[in-house]
Structure 1
Amino acid sequence: MTKMIKLRSALGVLEILSVLCISLAAAAAYTPVDNYLISCGSSVDTPVGRRLFVADDSGTVVLTSPGSAAVKASPSAVFGFDDADAAMYQSARVFTAPSSYSFRIRDPGRHFVRLHFFPFVYRGYDLATASFKVSTQDAVLIDGFAPAARSNVTPVCEEFLLHVARDTLVVTFVPLAGRLAFVNAVEVVSVPDNLVGTAASSQSMSNSIGQQLNPAVMPLQTVYRVNVGGLTVAADNDTLWREWTSDQPFLVGPAVTQDVAYSRTLNYLPGQATVEDAPAIVYATGRELIIMSNLTDDGMKQMAWQLDVERSASYLIRFHFCDIVSNVPGLLHMNAYVDSSNAFQELDLSAIGHGKLAFPYYTDFVLATSAPSGKLAVYVGSSSRNITTPAAILNGLEIMRILTTAGSVVVIDPTAPGPKKKNLAVVLGSVFGSFAFVSIAAALVIAMRKKEEKKELPTPTTSQPSTAWMPLLGRISFRSPGPSAVGSGSTSFTIDTNTPGGASATPSMATSSSQSYRFPFAALQDATSNFDEGLVIGEGGFGKVYAGVLQDDTKVAVKRANPESRQGAREFRTEIEMLSGLRHRHLVSLIGYCDEHEEMILLYEYMEHGSLRSHLYGGRAATALSWAQRLEACVGAARGLLYLHTATAKPVIHRDVKSSNILLDDGLTAKVADFGLSKAGPDIDETHVSTAVKGSFGYVDPEYVRTRKLTAKSDVYSFGVVLLEALCARPVVDPRLPKPMVNLVEWGLHWQGRDGLEKIIDRSIAGTVRPAALMKYGETVVRCLADRGADRPAMEDVVWSLQFVTRLQEVDGLDVSDVSSLNMVHQLTPPSHARQRSAGESETGRGDVDEEDSVADDYADASMRGIFWQMVNVHGR
C-alpha cells in the first residue's frame, strides 16, 4: 500500500515544470522601494543568483567601523557550496569594536532584514570564535550569536521582519566578552505593509509574563518557512526573496500522507493571499492526509510535524492552504492544533472562497508561550467524525518568533553620507579653493609664530612629547642611568621641583599629588619585563593591563593601548584630564602616563583584589565576597560616583559604570576606575548634554539611548544594574539562561515587583541577608532603574540609602520605619572635622592633604538636604 501511495504521489515532470513556470512568472511582480543588498568585506560587486550584492564601501550604505577588517575565505572553505552560496559567503566584514551599517529608508513600513553568516579562518581572524550582538535603534535582533556553539559550521541566514518608521535604519554589531563580530552579507528590503496583520486570528494577546503580543506591530524573526509537500524553493523563485525548505525533516507520526501538485492556474481572490504572501509553487503543492480503512490509531487521523524552537518564547504560526485536492466544494473540513492549543476548527476553505476551489489562503495563530521542552508540534487533520475524502491538506507553514522585548539596544552613530555625484565637481572645486586659502594662511601663521618663539622662548630642557595636546609637560627631566640604576637599560628621571607637588625624585610621589606625570617608555618596559604576557591582569576595550613594579618597588597597574582597539587618543586624553584634576579615596589614582614611540600607556595604583565582577562570578569562587563586603563595596563605589557628580562646577559623568570597573584594593576598599568614556555634564542652567551613546551593553541608560541626552542620572541607572549584580552574582546578560532570565534587569525587576527578590539572591549569601535590609536594597535598585531619569534618585540619595541598608543589616531588630531615629541617622552624616576641613581648604586653597583627612571619605558623600528629605519622606523611598 505504501508503494502505491508513493507512486501515486510522485510529481510528474510536466507538473513540476508547470508549477515552476507559474512561480517564475510571479517572482518579478513586486519591486521594493528599498532594496539594499550588501556584500560585506568585498571590494567588488557580487552577483548572487539573479541579484547583485554591492560592496559595503561603495557608498550605497554608510559603514561606521572604528575597528573593522575585510576578510576573504580560501577557496577550500567554500568548496562544495553552490555558486550562489560561494559568492555570498566568500567575504566578510570583521568588527573588533561596536560598528554599524546605516541605510536610508525611503519607504517607511515593513522591511525584511537578512543577516548572512559563515565562519571561516583568515590569517589572525577565526570567525568561529565570534560572539556578538546585533541591534537596530528599536530592537535587539541577535543577542549572543556564537557560531562555535553550532553543531556544524554551515552558512546561516537570520531573517527579521521589522516595522521601520525612521528615515534611517542603523544595524549595529557589538562584539561580546572581548571577542569579535562579523557578517558576510546584509539585506534590507521593503515589503508590503499588509504582509503581517491582516488575518483576524493574529490578534493581540498576552504571554505567560503578561506582555501584549500583537504581531502586526512587533519585530518578528523567521524560524521556519516550509513548503509542505513540495520541493525546496530558492530565493530567486520568491517575489520577496524568501527561501522555503521541504517539510520531510519535520514530518512525524503514523499518519499516511501523500505529496500532491496542481498544474492549472490558481484562483487568486480579492482580499485573500497573494503572490507576496507565498510563491505560487507553495500553493500549487501540498501534503494530503490519506484516511485508511479500519483506523484504530487516532494518530493516523492527523498529519503531524515537530520542530525545534526556543523554550518559553512566543511565536506567530502561519498556515498556508489551497484546496487543490477537492473536486466539489464543501468536502474539506479541517482542525489544527499547535502543541495543546486549538489553532482553528471546522475550517471550510470553500465557504471562505464562496464556492471557489484552488485559491490561496492563509490564517495566523499566535502561540503565547512555547513548551519548556523546546519542541513545537503542529497537527492538521479532518474535523469530521465520519471521515471523508479528501480528509486534510496543508500547503505551507511559517513559524516566526515574536521578539517580545527590545532589550538594551546599542546604536553606533553613522557618519553623514557623502555628496551626490552630480555635485561632485562643484564640491571638489570649493574644497580645493578653501584648502589653498587655508594652507596659505596657516603657513603665514606658523612662520610668524616660529619667529616669535625664537626671540622669546628659552631652549627646552625636557624631553619633547610625541603629541601636542598632552597636559603637564615640561615637569619631568630625563637623564641617562647612573651606576646605581636598577635594571639594564632602564631610564631614571626626576620630577621638576618647580611644579606643584614635584619635590621628589621618585615617581611614586605622584600618588600623593593630584597631578599625573609622564613616564619614559623604557621605565615601563623594565617595570613589566617588557610587557610580559604572564603579567597580564586584565584586558578591556582600550587594551591589556599589566602588573608592574617601578624601580622604588611601587606596584602599579600598566594599561597599554592596543593599536587595533576601538578606544584611542580621545579616551587616553580624557582619562588623563579627568584623573589629573580629581582625587578621592574611592577613585583609582592615576600615577602617570607615557606617549613615547606612538604608545599610549596609563599607570594606576595597583588594586590587589581586582574587579568586583571577578569576585561575584568571574572565576574567583574561592574569594567570593560576603554580603557585608558586597554592601561595603557598593557604598564605596557610590561615594566615588557622588564625588564625580558634585566635586566640580560641572558634574563628571562616568558613562561606563559596571562591576568590572569597580576595583578592590588590598583592604577590599572599592574604587571606581576607567574614565576613558567620561564626559563633563551640563552647566548649572542646563538639564543634559546631547552626545552619542557610549557605554557597555546591559548597563546603558535606556533613556540615554532613546534621546541621546546624557545626565548624571545615566550613571545612577548603570549603578542600579551593578547593585543587582552584587545581589545575584550573575552576568547582566546571559543568553545561556531561559528567556525570562536572560536580562538581569528585567528578571530582577520582575521579582522585586512580586516582593520575591529573595528568590534570586546568590545562594552563597542568601542566608545572611536580613529581610529589612533586602527590602530597602530592592527599593533602591528599583528607583535607580526607573525608565525616566527624572524618577531616579541623585547619587547622594543612593549613598544614603545604601548606608541605611548597611545599618539595617548590622543592627538586629532594626526596621525600615526606624529611619527617623536620630540615634542611627547621625552616624550617616559627615563628621565635624570634614566640614571644618572643607572650610579651611576654601580659605587656604590647599590641594594636597593626607589620606585620613580626605573629603573623599565623608564630606563628599552626603548632602544634608538629601538626608533631611529622606528622614521626612520615609514612604517616598
Structure 2
Amino acid sequence: MAGTARRPLLVLLLVAGFAAVAESKLYAPADRVLLNCGSTTDALDSDGRRWVADTNDNMWLTDSGKSSLMMAADRMDNGLPSTVPYMTSRVFPTESAYNITVNPRDRHWVRLHFYPSSYNGLPAEGFRFDVVTSTGITLLHNFSVYNYAKALSQAFVIREFSLPPTPAGFLTITFTPTPPGNETYAFVNGIEVISMPDIFADPATTVGFADQTVDISGAALQTMYRFNVGGLYIPPSNDSGLTRHWYDDTPYVLGPTQGVIYKAGPHFQLKYLSDLAEYAAPPDVYLGSRSMGSDPRLNQNYNLTWVMPVDGNFTYVARLHFCELLLNRPNQRAFDIYVNNKTAQADADIIGMASEKGVPMYRDFAVYVADEPGDEAMWVALHPSVALRPQFYDAILNGLEVFKINDTAGNLAAPDPDPSRLLAKAELGAGDHMPPKIHRHRHIATVMGSMAGGAAALGIIAALCVVRRQEKGKKELQPAGGSHTSGWLPLYHSHTSGKSSGHLAANLAGMCRHFSFAEIKVATKNFSESLVIGVGGFGKVYRGVVDGDTKVAIKRSNPSSEQGVQEFQTEVEMLSKLRHRHLVSLIGFSEDAGEMILVYDYMEHGTLREHLYMGGKPPLSWRLRLDICIGAARGLHYLHTGAKYTIIHRDVKTTNILVDEDWVAKVSDFGLSKSGPTTVNQTHVSTMVKGSFGYLDPEYFRRQQLTDKSDVYSFGVVLFEVLLARPALDPALPREKVSLADYALLCQRNGTLLDVIDPAIKDQIAPECLKKFADTAEKCLSEQGIERPSMGDVLWNLEFAMQLQDAFEGQGGSTICGRRPMGEGSGVGGSSALDGNVMSSTASVTAVETLSASRPRVVIVEEADDDEVANSAAFSQLVRPTGR
C-alpha cells in the first residue's frame, strides 16, 4: 500500500469557526422524575438538572423506605461528573421497589445511575442484584456494578432503557439482591423516568433481508451506543428536551483512515420533514458529519468503519443519522451501508432520499448477533457506490445509535464483562504482531459510562476486540478488484510476552534509558512493600536506588487494573523530550516481563498536598508555599510556550506538584497530557474529557474543547488549595463548601477570604501580597477560558506577589526573594502576554523597557546558554523590575 494511504486522514474543517444554530422543537415530557436516591434534600447536578430526594413524603418506595437504608459513599472518585446523584444511595438488603406514576400512553426513558463505592463501610464488592420492571422486563440480572466498572475502567455507570407504554399508569422498578440470603445487597444512586416521543414507531429493516422488517414499537430497548459522529459531546441539557448523552465517536472509528470532519456554517438551516424527525437527534448532530475525504482512489480502497462490542444472543438496531450539508443533486455522493459484513442498503443517496440538502433523516437496520467467539460486535461500514458511479466517491454519516432489543423472555440483561482474559490475549497478539482474537466477553463496552476517560479506554478495547475480523470484513465489503491493507496497529505494545517489544526503546533511543526488569527488581528490593511511597490509579510508586547511589522513584503499573496503557506511552514520549528545572525528569522505563514501569528522579519532599493537609507533616511557611507555586507556574508556562508545540498537562493538582530536597517545585504525571493546537487558526483541541474532578475546567467539561486555559483553571484551584489548606472537594462539608473553587470564590467576592485562610500562615502574609495572590487565583477560575490569564501572566503576578511580600518584610534582592536564580528554560517566565512578545528558553535579554508601572517588555537580541540567562543581571531585572 502506498505511504499516503497509511497516514491518518483525519482533518478538521471548521467552516467560519462556529457551530451552526438551528431552530428545533423542544420536547416537553409529561413525566419527568429524577430521584436523588438516599438523599434528604433536592439538588442540582452539573448540567443544572434538579434531582428530588427520594424521601419526599416517602411516596416513591412501595414500603415507604422501611426495608431499605440511606447511605453515603465513603469516598469520592475524581472521575465523577457531579456529586449529584452519585454520593448518596438507597441500599436494599431485601427485595424492594420504587413505584412511579406515569402517563400510560407514553414511552419512557429509564436511566439507572450507579457509583461503585463502599457505603457506610459496606464494600463495593458486596453489591450484586437484579432489576426488573412491572411490565415484565429484566433490566439487570446478577449485576455487579463494581466488577462492571472495574473491567471497563469507569468511575460510574449509567444504564439507559426505553420502555414501551405501561397501560396500568404506573411503573414499578424492583431491586433484588442476588443470590438471596447470601449477604449481598442491591443499591442505586439515581433513577430517571422521563416521557419520550415514540421515536421507535417505524419498523427496522432486517440486514441481509431487504424485504423483511423488525417491529420495535412495542419492544423494550437498551441504549448501547450513541454518537455525535464527527462532533463533540452533547450533554442532556442540549438535547431538545430528550435529555440524552451524545458522545464523540472517534474511539470507535477503526483504522488510521478516520475520514474528514465537517461542520456547517453559522447560518445553515435544517429543514425537518416531520415533528418526529425533530426529536430523533439534536440539531448539532445533523450540522456536523464525518465523511471519507477528497481522494477518490483512496476512498475506493477502504471503508469508513465503526466497531462496537455488544452482548451475544440479542437482536440490535443500528440507527444511522444522515443530513447532506454540502451537495444538492442526486448521485453526487452515493454509498453502500454494511452492518456486520452484510449489505444493509446499497446505493444510499441522501439527496435522492430527501430531495434537497439540509434535511435530517435516519435509517434503522436490525441485525442478530450470535453468542459465539469472534462475533460479539457491531460493525457499521460505509463504502462509495461503484454501481451508480457518482460524481464523488465518498460516504457520510452524521450520527449513530445502537440499541439492544429485549429477547422473547423479556430480558435485556447480560453477564458482567470479563476483559482480563481478553486484554491479555489482545496484548499477546499485539506483541506478536498478529491480530488478537475476540473472546467471550459479554457486553465488553457501552457508551453509557464515565465521561472522564471511560470512552477512550473502551475505544481501545473495542479496536483490540475486532482486529481479527478486520481483513475478513474488508475483503467482503470491498468492490471487486479493490485491495487495501491496513497500516493500523494497536496503540500499545506487548507487555505480556516476557521480553520487551522494543518499540518504545527503538523510538526513544538516546533520549530515555531502557531498564531491564532485573535492574528494577534490584532497585526496589524485589518491590518491597517497605519502599512504597505512594499509590495511584496507574499503580504503586516505590523508592529505589540505581547505579549504586542514584535515588529514584519507580512507578509500576498494577497488572490487575488494566489501566494506564496509553498513559504509559504518553508519559514516556512526552517526558523523554522535555527537560526543565520545574518538570520532573524521566530517567527511563521498562516494558519487560509484561510490565509497564517508569523511573523518575526522586523527589525528597514528596507532593505539595501532603505538606498542606492530611500528610501529617509540619505546615509550610507562606513564603515557601508561594515559591512552590511560582516554580510550578514556571513549569506549566514552559509546557504552554517553551516546547515545539503547546503541551496541555490536563491533570494539574497538588498531588502532581512534587518538591525535591531543595524545595524546588516540579510538575509531574504527564499520562493525560495532550499536544495543543499546532496552527494559528486552531484555538483548541477537541478531545474526550479527562482530568480530576474538583480541578476540571467547566468549559472543557461542557464543550470537550481543550485549551491551555484548562490548565490555568486547574492551577487556580491549586492556588486556593495552598491558601486554605483543604481538598479541592470535601463531600463531608456543607453543600456550599464541598467545592473549594466555588467556596473560595464566594469568600473572595464576599470579602471573607481572610477568615478561611489556613491559620498556620494567616499572620505571615502581607496584605498586598494576599490581594494580588487571591485576585490571580480568582481570575484563573473565570467561567470562560477567554477571560482567564495565560500561564505567563499567572507567573508574572505570582512573582509580583512575592515582591510585595519582600517589600512588606523589608527584604529586597536582585533575584526572586534573594534565594535561587531561575533554572533551565525559565526565560519564558518573563514573556509578556500583554504585547505578544514571547521569549524562548534559550534567549538572553539585553534590554528591558518599561511599558507601565507594572509590566516590562522583553526585547530579544541574541541567543545564549540557559544558565547564562538565568544568572544575568538583565534577567534578574526582568523578573523583578524593581527600581525601574
TM-score by length of 1: 0.46
Highest Rg: 1 or 2? 1
Higher helix residue share: 1
TM-score by length of 2: 0.46
Say which structure, 1 or 2, has more relative contact order (CA 8 Å, 6+ apart): 2
